[in-house]
Amino acid sequence: MPTIERVLLSVTDKTGIVEFARALAGLGAELISTGGTARALREAGLDVRDVSEITGFPEMLDGRVKTMHPRIAGGILAIRGNAGHMSALAEHGILPIGMVVVNLYQFEKAAAQADAPVEHLIENIDIGGPTMIRAAAKNYQDVAVVVSPSDYAAVVEELRTHGGALSLATKWSLARKAFAATAAYDSAISAKLDTIGVENGQFHIEPRTLPATLSIHAPRVLTLRYGENPHQAASLYSTGHTGVAGGEQLHGKELSYNNLVDLDAAWQLVREFSRPASAIIKHTNPCGCAEQATQAESYRRAYEADPVSAFGGVLAFNRPLEGETAAEIAKTFVEAIAAPEFTPEALGILTAKKNLRLLRVTASPVADPVVKSISGGFLVQDADTVSLDESALVVKTKRAPGEDEMEALRFGWKVCKHVKSNAIVYARRGQSVSVGAGQMSRVDSVKVGAMKAVLPLEGTVLASDAFFPFPDGLEEAAGHGITAVIQPGGSVRDGEVIDAADRLGLAMVFTGIRHFRH
């Protein structure tokens, strides 16, 4: 008799279940199943016993009650080496179950529907499934619990090569995955229901709030060689199949921690633009960004802003990467590239560079909250997805920006949002010219941006992520030839700054909103 003499199967995701069950039956295991799973196995020609045959009760209450019964729970929870447990099974005619193969109702799929009624959500909360999973995982030494189709092949291989038995290490690994699966499931339910309130007997979506308890479930998808530095361990965890964390690496050596941080910074920046855009990132700050009529031109404009910093940079594009652009990229050393797709021509060019990392990224439909660890806890905030509100723009100077200046200001503002504060961006229409990032005073960021400029600053505009506390930053920038400024406003010295702009002949626009990026 095989070590796993009896298997209970009840799955929502039926990927590979027929093949897995056939392999188990071939090893001599008896199959017990429920509902749609049992039907799928029978249609495939497999012998299956219904759970109702084991329990002596039919499925009840529209399927809400199937497996919650002592003849099932006892068969899973009984410890084989405990004489009292085995005596109790014999006394009550309960058959031991050696493997539980269960995955759960797809609550997250139901929750993803924006208008899903509460009743639909509640019906998609699995009760029996988590109970069986947790029972089997608790009794891991005697019962194997399999919650993912991705484990089917390895389980079958080990059973075949070890006389129908699984090692303690394998059963322990499966149990850990099982507890993680139920924890994630409960977290998804809690997070969704936390957004729904009741008022006057009616359900409604609560005003957007952050959760009372922070619960993050993200399976590890990649173990990294190290973190920011070689002495730091690191891994990548993903909440789904979108964004940089859910991207598909098409080529190149393994991604590093720093690559991923920079790829995300670059990807978030190019997502700001509707026309073809390119971003070149170094240490999370843009050293070049452009939006042009063609992708190749946007890359050339981004690159020419700071070719020295672009060496060894990380790139992102908001369009499928084209061959012409790839040919331009191939002229210099690049660490990694993120794009929604790569054309065959682009892949042919770029894969000639053995180590160049290429990441295909699908845009996330909803921006994830921003989570930052601090000693003893976490800070959580909404992602900064606010776009420039044209109706809120206020011209504060005697001279209003011209059409070209206004387009340049809009562009510079989008880039500035993605620069570490204190942030300054010198820009032309559709092109960043230079960036001053992360200085301790705003006037220093203005100076650094001017110092790093490769292209002429004469005739550029200036974007600032927060207000100018004194006129000195504006005066410094004016000395380098800027003609217009965009900034949030809100300083107690706004009047002095506006007077300085008028004195210098600058046009200045207030946005009423800042974009600190710490």
Asked about 283 being catalytic, the answer comes back as yes
Tokens standing for residue 479: 């000395």
Say which of 138, 217, 253, 353 is annotated catalytic: 138
Burial class (CB in 10 A: 0-12, 13-18, 19+), 293: exposed
Asked about 447 being catalytic, the answer comes back as no
Distance CA 272, CA 108 (A): 28
Terminal C-alpha separation, the chain: 63
Residue 501 amino acid letter: A
Distance CA 78, CA 305 (A): 69
Burial class (CB in 10 A: 0-12, 13-18, 19+), 349: buried
Tell me how far the alpha carbon of residue 377 is from its chain's centroid: 21
Say which of 217, 253, 283, 353 is annotated catalytic: 283
Distance CA 399, CA 329 (A): 41
Please, are residues 267 and 316 in contact by the beta-carbon 8 Å criterion? yes
* 67 three-class SS: coil
Q: How many CB atoms lie within 10 A of CB 291?
A: 26
Q: How many CB atoms lie within 10 A of CB 398?
A: 12
Distance CA 309, CA 286 (A): 9
Instruction: Kindly give the residue spans of alpha helices, DSSP state H, lying in 56-117.
Output: 70-77, 83-92, 107-111
Burial class (CB in 10 A: 0-12, 13-18, 19+), 33: buried
Catalytic residue list: 138, 283
